[in-house]
Amino acid sequence: MRDLGVGFRYLLRGQRWVARHGRQYGFGLLPGLITLVLYAAALVALALWGQDLVGWATPFADDWSSPWLGLFRGFLTAVLFALALLLSVVTFTAVTLLIGQPFYESLSESVDRDVSPDGAAPESGLPVHQELWISARDSLRIVVRAALWGVLLFALGFVPVVGQTAVPVLGVFVTGFFLTEELTAVALQRRRVDLRDRLALLRARKTLIWGFGTPLALAFLVPFVAVFLMPGAVAGATLLARDLRGEEIAEGEPDGEQEPTSKGDAGW
């Protein structure tokens, strides 16, 4: 359980890092703002026409008497919007990272140099266009996995009691896992770690991943928060990636704090 606290501290340390690097933080807001406008437009459209979509998809209920017809379709509309919100949280990171790929690569490298004992940052050695292709391909694969989980959670939402209690909690943990995968991919791709191996690393340390990703998933549910947390989340995910790879994190923090490395925290 100690890994939960370690993961959360990485998230906080990432936010502190970008707070001291204002220029990089400012540029890091732009991709998130662009993505936010696109997603907000899609969610508003769903809110306006979601009930019509549900009505079109459930013609068998046209002859139901009141109030059952309204309750049934109203519930489906609410669940549909909740599913869209869940998917938007998961895919927001992927789209924002893709739009802001050059900046976030630079930010992640800077964090690596700050905390590396030798001041060096790993480099993939791949051309930019190939890095973009790998990032887009892997992001699409993660989005598909997240969508499958979303459909499953959507179906479980119809189960009485469980669907209104356990399923939302499970949804936050699932979202936190996929958010963390997308964020750590920035640093891990530079280390030439492919998607399958990245997922294996994350699954082996689920408690650490949830400590980082679950609070972030909850924060991302608040409008506009995701935009302001994205740069710091990338910075924190770089620290997390070093932990997952067993790389040393220098104890001398840029902010002057002395925090133990994750190996000591996690009891390695």
C-alpha 70/C-alpha 49 separation (Å) is: 15
pTM of the entire structure? 0.76
Each residue's pLDDT tens digit in the chain (268 positions)? 688 889 999 999 999 999 988 887 887 888 888 888 888 898 888 888 888 888 888 888 777 877 887 788 888 888 888 878 777 877 788 788 888 888 888 899 999 999 988 888 888 777 877 877 888 888 888 878 887 887 888 788 778 777 778 888 888 899 899 999 999 999 999 999 999 999 999 999 999 999 999 999 998 877 678 889 999 999 999 999 999 998 888 764 444 343 444 443 433 2
pLDDT confidence of residue 52: 83
Burial category of 175 from C-beta neighbours within 10 Å (exposed 0-12, middle 13-18, buried 19 and up): buried
Identity at 191, one-letter amino acid code: R
Report how far residue 182's alpha carbon sits from residue 95's, in angstroms, rounded to the nearest whole number: 10
Do the Cβ atoms of 220 and 89 come closer than 8 Å?
Answer: yes
Look up tokens 């998809």; give the residue.
57
Cβ atoms 186, 14 nearer than 8 A: no
pLDDT of residue 223: 65
Question: What's the confidence (pLDDT) of residue 261?
Answer: 42
100 secondary structure, DSSP code: T
Which residues lie across from 252 on neighbouring strands? 258
